[in-house]
Structure 1
Amino acid sequence: MGRNLTPRREPLSPLRYPGGKALLAAYVSGVLEENYLSGCTLFEPFAGGASVSLELLRLGFVAETVMVERDPLVYAFWHSVFNDTDALCAAIEACPVTLDTWKLLQPAREVDDPAQTEYTTLQLGIAGLFFNRTNFSGIIGAGPIGGESQSSNYKIDCRFNKAKVIRQIRTVAAFAPRVQIHFGDAIQFLQASAETLATSFSFVYVDPPYYAQGKKLYRHSYTDADHVALATFLRDQGYPWLLSYDDHPRIRELYAFNQLQLQPIYLDYKVKSNRRAQELVISNLVIPPPVYDGDLSQQASLALAQ
C-alpha cells in the first residue's frame, strides 16, 4: 500500500536544488518496504541535492548510500561535508556573502574535473555552496539573486542563512560512515559497479536531469541521445531500480517497454512555473500509488495525478 507522506519542517540537504526530491523520500521508503528492500545499500547516481539519500538514511530505510555527482562543484561540496566538516563550516562562517565574493569565485565555475585544477576540493566545495545559495533558484550556472546591480528587494544574501546551513551540514555529516561520494558520469559508474549491484543487497534511485527544462536548470544537462542511452541502459538491468522524471511525452515513449511500473505523481513545488509539477516514477519493481493528507492546495504532499 502507499505511504502516507508528510514533509519535514526543515530539509536535511543544505543545497537549494531545482526539482529537489525531499518530498519523494517517503514514497521511496514505501517502495523499499513493499519490495522487502529495507536495510539495503542505496545507489544515487545523480546525487544533486541528495535529498532522497539523506532522508532514507535518517529514516533508517537504507544501511548506507553511494552517491555519484557529475558537477565538480556539487561533488566537492558533498565531499567536504562528509570528509572535511569542520573546515567547511569554518569557511562558511568566514565567507562574506557579497557580490564581490561572487565575482571572486567565478573561475571556479570553469573547473570541469576536481582532480585537474589548482583549487582544493574544499575551495571548490565552498564555491559550489556559495553559488547554490546566492544564485537564482539555486542554479550554479545562473546569475546572482538581485542581479549584478543588486537593485532588487531580494539581495544576494537572502537565501544564505549561515547558521541554518551549518546546522544542516553538521546534521548530515553524522552520516559520514555510511556515505560514499564519487565524481563522475552516472551510467559509467553504474557500468563499473555492475558486479556489486548484481550480487549485493542494493537499490538504485535514478533522478536524471529533466527532459524539458534540463538545459536551463543544470550545468551538465542531457541531450535527447543521453536520455535514450539511459533508458536503453536501465532496460537491461536486473537489479531493483526506480527512476523519477518530468512527465514528458518523450519520456513516456522511452520507457514504454514491458514489465515496467509507471506512476504519475504530483510534487508540490515550483520549478520555473506557477503550477504544481507533475512527474513520473518508473520502476522495474512493484510501486504503490502515493497517498496524501488533506487539501493539495494547502499541503506539500504527493497525490495521484488525475
Structure 2
Amino acid sequence: MPVQNAKLSPLRYPGSKAILTNYISSVLEENYLTDCTIVEPYAGSAVVSLALLESLVAEKAILVERDPLVYSFWQSVFNHTYLLIEKIYNLPITIDTWNAFQIYRKCDNISSHTVVDLGLAGLFYNRTNFSGILKAGPLGGHNQSSQYKIDCRFNKHNIISQIERLSKFKNRVEVFFGDAMEFLKQNKKNFLKGNFFLYADPPYYLKGKSLYRYWYEHKEHKALAKFLLSSNCNWLVSYDDHAEIRKMYSNEISLIPVYFDYSLTSPRRERELLISNLALPPIAFCHENLQPITTA
C-alpha cells in the first residue's frame, strides 16, 4: 500500500527515515501485521509512525522520547494543539528568541516548565538550528551575517497546517517520556499480547554523539541488540552500517544493507542497515532515494 509521507512531520532530522515508510508498509503487509500498534522507542521526527497511521496501515502508535524538548513537542501536538499553535503564531523567529530559549534547552526533565513551553522550544530549535540538530548553533550564525537567516526554515503557515493535520490522530497516539530501554523492558510482555510492531531507529553508532543530545555508547547499543534478539515481539531496527552493529546482529538472518540518499550539508549517499526478526521483502521501487546494496 503506497504511503504518503511528504511534509508530514514538522520536525527536521538528519537521516530522516521518511524514505523508509513505503518499505516498512510492505514489511507489515508481508507479515500480516497491518492494523497493528506501531511502537517507536526513539520517536524523533516520528515520521514512520505518523505516515503509517495516516495511510491506515497502522491502527495506533506509541511514541517514546528521552529528549524533554522533543517529547514535549509531541505531547503538545496531540494534547495541547491550539495552545501550541497560538504560541507558534505569536513567536518571533529571531536570534533574541534563540538566546532567550536557552533556559529550556538546558532542561533534562519535563517538570521544570510547562509542556507547551518546552515543546515550543523544541520546535523552535529544530527549525532554526543547523540540520535540525537541537544541540547545534542557529542558521545564519549568531551574528546573522550569512545568506540564510534564522527564520529561513520556519514557515509558520506550513508548520501550523502540519500540526492541525497531525492533531486528528490524537486518539490513536500515546506519547511517553523516558528511556527507550526501560520502556521496552517494562512492556516486553505486553508486546506479546496484541498486534504490536516495534520500529527502533536508535542514535547512530558512529555519529550519534555529534547529532543528538541523548546518544548511546557501545554498551547501550549492545544492550538494545540483546533485548531485540531475545524478544519474541515483531521488530525492525534501522542503523548506520558499521562493523560493530553487524557483529551485534550477526545471528539475525534478516539483514539488508541499503543506500540512503539524503542531505545534512550537501547531498550524499550513506549506507544503512535494516535488521529484523521478520521476513524482509526485497527493496524494489519503494522510494527513488532508497536503493539495495547487492554486495554486503
TM-score w.r.t. the length of structure 1 is 0.93
Question: 3-state SS of the aligned residue for 2:26?
Answer: helix
Aligned partners of 1:267 and 1:300 also within 8 Å: no
Moved over 4 A (4+): 5-8
Aligned partners of 2:205 and 2:240 also within 8 Å: yes
The code of the aligned residue for 1:39 comes to D
Unaligned segments of structure 2, at least 5 residues? none
Aligned partners of 1:7 and 1:23 also within 8 Å: no
Deviations 1:191-227 (A, max 9, x none): 1111210111111000000011111110001111111
Aligned partners of 1:105 and 1:127 also within 8 Å: yes
Question: 3-state SS of the aligned residue for 1:269?
Answer: strand
CA RMSD of aligned residues (A): 1.5
Name the residue aligned to 1:154: 148
Deviations 1:229-284 (A, max 9, x none): 11111111001100000111111111101x43001112221245642122100000
Aligned with 1:43 (options 19, 39, 43): 39
Aligned partners of 2:4 and 2:51 also within 8 Å: no
Name the residue aligned to 1:288: 281
Unaligned segments of structure 1, at least 5 residues? 294-298
Deviations 1:145-187 (A, max 9, x none): 0110111000000000000000111111111100000000111
Q: How far, CA to CA, are the matches of 2:257 and 2:8 in structure 1?
A: 25
Name the residue aligned to 1:296: none
Farther off after superposition, 233-242 or 263-272: 263-272
Please tell me whether residue 301 in structure 1 is matched to residue 294 in structure 2: no
Please tell me whether residue 166 in structure 1 is matched to residue 160 in structure 2: yes
Question: 3-state SS of the aligned residue for 1:56?
Answer: helix
Name the residue aligned to 1:31: 27
Aligned partners of 2:4 and 2:55 also within 8 Å: no
Farther off after superposition, 192-201 or 178-187: 192-201
The code of the aligned residue for 1:32 comes to L
Deviations 1:90-140 (A, max 9, x none): 10000000000000000111111103x1x1000000000000000000000
- Give the length in aligned residue pairs: 294
- Counting aligned pairs with the same residue, the percent is 50
Aligned partners of 2:3 and 2:55 also within 8 Å: no
Q: How far, CA to CA, are the matches of 2:60 and 2:267 in structure 1?
A: 36
Cα drift, residue 7 of structure 1: 6.6
Aligned partners of 2:78 and 2:170 also within 8 Å: yes
The code of the aligned residue for 1:281 comes to L
Measured at CA, do residues 245 and 271 of structure 1 come closer, stay the same or move farther in structure 2, by a change above 3 Å? farther
Please tell me whether residue 13 in structure 1 is matched to residue 9 in structure 2: yes
Please tell me whether residue 130 in structure 1 is matched to residue 118 in structure 2: no
Please tell me whether residue 256 in structure 1 is matched to residue 250 in structure 2: yes
Q: How far, CA to CA, are the matches of 2:267 and 2:11 in structure 1?
A: 22
TM-score w.r.t. the length of structure 2 is 0.96
Q: How far, CA to CA, are the matches of 1:277 and 1:11 in structure 2?
A: 22
Q: How far, CA to CA, are the matches of 2:47 and 2:217 in structure 1?
A: 24
Measured at CA, do residues 245 and 213 of structure 1 come closer, stay the same or move farther in structure 2, by a change above 3 Å? same
Q: How far, CA to CA, are the matches of 2:88 and 2:4 in structure 1?
A: 27
Name the residue aligned to 2:227: 233
Deviations 1:60-79 (A, max 9, x none): 11110000000000000000
Aligned with 2:62 (options 60, 63, 66): 66
Name the residue aligned to 1:55: 51
Aligned partners of 2:88 and 2:156 also within 8 Å: yes
Aligned with 1:94 (options 90, 94, 97): 90
Cα drift, residue 305 of structure 1: 1.5
Name the residue aligned to 1:267: 260
The code of the aligned residue for 1:220 comes to Y
Question: 3-state SS of the aligned residue for 1:38?
Answer: coil
